């Protein structure tokens, strides 16, 4: 499975247009993608981390100072997890108890969509669901988007998540 830049860009359309949100603080890259560690960089938080695609397997990985970890097994799974995350954060009038249930439900959905990627408690989506359960998220619609590097493309504004020794933190 050799994934070309055009296939990657097409799969990322819901994310790069802001239709769906990925809880990642970086900026979506444009084609042709920069290659890092032999993999195209699809998003980057400069100096801290990058989301890359393994062209042979189609896996989406997070590269940071701690190494690499699997975010999703495919671009399609990334897009679907982002769609579910976006639907969850757009829940209105939720109290603390409701957010806990919403986060738990999101984690269950992600485990069905892409088995194994949220099993470790410090995995990308497990942390995103946990923080959603605490009410830590961006609820943005069009007001939470920003233009990237004068490209005319708008991206969702994301909270500043960082991966520490004990997992992700805001």
Written in H, E and C, the secondary structure of 22-71 is CCCCCEECCCCCCEECCEEEEEEECCCEEEEECCCCCCEEEEECCEEEEE
Cα 118 to chain centroid, rounded = 13
pLDDT digits (tens, 9 = 90+) for 91-142: 877 788 899 999 999 999 999 999 999 999 999 999 999 999 998 876 443 2
Percent pLDDT > 70 in the chain is: 79
pLDDT digits (tens, 9 = 90+) for 4-24: 999 999 999 999 999 999 999
Instruction: Tell me how far apart the terminal alpha carbons of the chain are, to the nearest angstrom.
Output: 35
Percent pLDDT > 90 in the chain is: 72
Whole-structure pTM value = 0.80
Task: Give the HSE-up count for residue 101: Cα atoms under 13 Å, Cβ half-sphere.
Answer: 6
Burial of residue 24, with CB atoms counted within 10 A of its CB: 0-12 exposed, 13-18 middle, 19 or more buried: buried
Tokens of 147: 């233009």
The candidate with the shortest Cα–Cα distance to 130, out of 97, 100, 161, is 100
Mean pLDDT over 31-53 rounds to: 96
Domain-by-domain residue ranges, the chain?
5-169
pLDDT digits (tens, 9 = 90+) for 151-161: 444 444 444 44
What pLDDT, on the 0 to 100 scale, is given for residue 1?
A: 67
Mean pLDDT over 18-34 rounds to: 94
Q: Return d(Cα 55, Cα 58) in angstroms, integer.
A: 5
């Amino acid at each position: 499975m050799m994934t070309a830049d055009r296939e990657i860009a097409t799969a990322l359309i819901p994310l790069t247009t802001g239709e769906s949100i990925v809880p990642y603080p970086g900026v979506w890259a444009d084609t042709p993608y920069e290659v890092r560690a032999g993999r195209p960089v699809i998003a980057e938080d400069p100096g801290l981390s990058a989301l890359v695609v393994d062209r042979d397997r189609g896996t989406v990985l997070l590269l940071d100072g701690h190494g690499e970890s699997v975010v999703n097994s495919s671009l399609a799974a990334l897009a679907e997890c982002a769609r579910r995350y976006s639907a969850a954060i757009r829940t209105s009038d939720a109290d603390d108890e409701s957010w806990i249930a919403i986060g738990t439900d999101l984690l269950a959905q992600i485990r069905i969509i892409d088995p194994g990627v949220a099993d470790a408690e410090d995995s990308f989506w497990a942390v995103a669901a946990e923080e959603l359960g605490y009410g830590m998220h961006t609820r943005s619609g069009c007001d939470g988007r920003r233009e990237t590097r004068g490209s005319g493309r708008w991206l969702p504004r994301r909270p500043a998540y960082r991966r520490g020794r004990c997992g992700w933190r805001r």
